[in-house]
Amino acid sequence: MMSLFSARVSTPAIYTSPIRAPLFSSRIKILENQRSKLMSTSSIEPSILSIKPENDVEEREKIVEDVIVQYLVLRRDLIDSWPLGSVVTQGCHASVAAIWGNKDDGHTIDYCSRENIDSMHKVTLEVKGEPQLLNLSQKLAAGDIAHKLWIEQPENLPTCLATKPYPKTTVSSFFKKLKLCK
């Protein structure tokens, strides 16, 4: 049993965890496959074709990290006082409403496409309570970020919000100060 753990310790220093190495290399393989597919079509996107194993790692990570993502923000006060299933249900309502309300948007279509449906990316964050949730909703609206503020009825209680799917680099700045929901 100890020999299994010692193998993990001997991973190359470039990786911060034993899980990161396979994940990063699989993303590179996906990009290389995309490059191969694009070379066989008439509309070749130069930014994808320029990704080669010998290119700079930061360049590859930048393109890999611009994944389409949906942000979901829950209220910590409700997480602490409501049954977990009820809070999860509120998040589901907001997520579906945000996607359905933007079903004709290009990013939403890509996010829900047959090729991507099994690899959706969501980031679930938390705010302290209702005032912080309403403040975030106002900031998103001011930044033209489409989202759904879910208001539970008949109580008329704002419980969570979800963005429509966006490239991560487009919306991540709005959520930098928020904690991951745990």
Residues 149-162, mean pLDDT to the nearest whole number:
97
**pLDDT at site 66:** 85
What mean pLDDT, rounded, does the chain reach? 78
Beta-sheet strands, E only, within the chain: 68-75, 122-127, 147-152, 157-163, 166-167, 179-180
Domain positions in the chain are: 15-64, 68-180
At 22 the three-state DSSP class reads helix
Query: Model pTM greater than 0.75?
Result: no
**CATH 2.60.120.620, domain 68-180, yes or no:** no
Closest CA to 147 of 86, 80, 69, 64: 69
Contacts of 36 (CB under 8 A, 6+ apart): none
- pLDDT tens per residue across span 71-124: 999 999 999 999 999 999 999 999 999 999 999 999 999 999 999 999 999 999
Residues 135-144, mean pLDDT to the nearest whole number:
97
Contacts of 82 (CB under 8 A, 6+ apart): none
pLDDT tier at 62 (50, 70, 90 boundaries)?
A: low
